[in-house]
Amino acid sequence: MIDPSRLGADALAHLPTGVARPTYDRTSVESGIVHLGIGAFHRAHQAIYTDAVLAAGDRRWGILGASLRSPETRDALTSQDGLYTMAVRDAAGESLQVVGSITRLLVAPEDPAALLAAMAAPATRIVSLTVTEKGYCHRPATGELDEDHPDVRHDLAHPDRPRSAPGFIVEALRMRRAAGLPAFTALCCDNLPHNGATLQRVLSRFAALRDPDLGRYVDGELRCPSTMVDRIVPATTDADRASIAAALGCIDVWPVVTEPFSQWVIEDRFSQGRPEWDRAGATFVSDVAPYELAKLRLLNGSHSTLAYLGYLAGHETVADTMAAPGFAALVRGLMLREAAPTLPAVPGLDPESYAASLIERFRNPALRHRTWQIAMDGSQKLPQRLLGTVRDRLAARQPIARLALGVAGWMRYVIGTDEQQRPIDVRDPLADDLRRRTAGLTSAEAIVAVLLAVEPVFGPDLPQSLVFRSAVEAALSSLLHDGAAATVAQASA
């Protein structure tokens, strides 16, 4: 039975005229890409570039999307023929596009063999990933595989029933090799430093632990281009669903909401060909590193700083935080005074105008991007967002006051109670450990001491820096005594 009130192939012809939609024959699309982690970010970013490639006539690159955890996205999209809406919003208004590039959906835990078979299929030429920082089962401070990770242990013991992204990729590569098929290209689209090289290192080590010969194969044959991905995509809310349904005239239970800005810089090193994503605005380059570093340190470093301090100061969203006294000045100073001087020159990227555009993007009043959402998984994010910058600044004997305030914001947040003594729902793989370490401690010195000792985050070196330690202690002491709002207002005074 067709549900006329639900988005799906049959609803396309009845959408209001202003809504963009796939005009190509979706039944002729092959699945050339298997994507692991079919969350909102992928659907508002890579799936959009791919939709444009399909629309331009190259039908080899449909996306088979897999969730490594929950069935929700599959359940929602399968009953919509894989279709969903992207709402692009800013102060000027909203535009809607129904996206057709996702052709099939799988849920890995329900049937790992089905996902492995799709990854090992001859038509699959790219396996891309947005599994968030923690999905790589690595140690954030070093980028090495965490061999004690429960999923790594599981996948080494049960290689044909993996749980983790590295477990799936390595088993699929083994299957392809055994079948005489070439390796696919593995394309990391997460905010990790040197994300291609990091993925390759994790996969090579995992494969070597399974079998040294497989390790050499993955190390030598697999290509993992680096990418810089950028688009702000807050979690979709029920209010978004309701307003999008009203505008579409039918229900889409799984839309995405995003900003007009979108950027994708990709290292052009694919073993089995690749879509012409540049047709849709992506940039292919020979070296992504400078773009990636600039984005992680300027955008994501500011984002995390705003998230911790904004949350503590009682602000629900990034836009609300940016409107409060001192926050815009703080992140502007963080970007231009502390982070930008650590960056190599990037052709076409002027730090002043990049920072100004980021401030505009953070202020976008039409996006309700929750500080709590960005605050998640800080133990996995801090090293590349703030701590790499700290290391470079310390080595150059330059001040780090704003970076230290961001780090102290994270420490104050992971204690797990807010400034009104209400519990904070801290989501982080290390949340329990962090709370246990700080339980009962009240002085900034004691809290900084126990948290700097978390080696997967701070490495062996940062706890040794007295300059860093005292800068974080001073910032945390102010957060504990004066609160985040006053600390930020004073910092920028």
Q: Which residues contact ligand CS2 (rule: CB under 6 A)?
A: 191, 230-232, 299-300, 303, 373-374, 381
Distances from the Cα of 452 to the Cα of 408, 410, 470, 472, angstroms: 11, 12, 12, 10
* Cβ proximity to ligand CS2, 74 vs 381, nearer residue: 381
Q: Which of 225, 220, 223 is nearest to 196 (CA)?
A: 225
Check if the beta carbon of residue 394 is closer than 8 Å to that of residue 461: no
* Cβ proximity to ligand CS2, 348 vs 460, nearer residue: 348
Least Å from the CB of residue 148 to ligand CS2: 25
Least Å from the CB of residue 465 to ligand CS2: 25
Least Å from the CB of residue 268 to ligand CS2: 21
Least Å from the CB of residue 80 to ligand CS2: 25
What residues form DSSP beta bridges with 130?
none
Element (H, E) at 257: strand 256-258
Least Å from the CB of residue 19 to ligand CS2: 25
Least Å from the CB of residue 374 to ligand CS2: 4
* Cβ proximity to ligand CS2, 172 vs 322, nearer residue: 322
* Cβ proximity to ligand CS2, 39 vs 112, nearer residue: 39
* Cβ proximity to ligand CS2, 232 vs 411, nearer residue: 232
Count how many Cα atoms sit within 13 Å of the Cα of residue 189 in the half-sphere of its side chain. Answer: 29
* Cβ proximity to ligand CS2, 172 vs 232, nearer residue: 232
Q: Can you say how many angstroms the Cα of residue 241 is from the centroid of all Cα atoms in its chain?
A: 22
Task: For 263-319, give the DSSP string.
Answer: EEEEE---SS----GGGGT-EEES--HHHHHHIIIIIIHHHHHHHHHHHHTT-SBHH
Least Å from the CB of residue 411 to ligand CS2: 17
* Cβ proximity to ligand CS2, 288 vs 394, nearer residue: 288
Which residue has the CB atom at the shortest distance from ligand CS2? 303
Structure tokens at 268: 């052009």
Structure tokens at 347: 């052709």
Q: Which of 96, 70, 94, 72 is nearest to 84 (CA)?
A: 96
Tokens 């990034």 locate to 318
DSSP letter (8 states) at residue 138: E
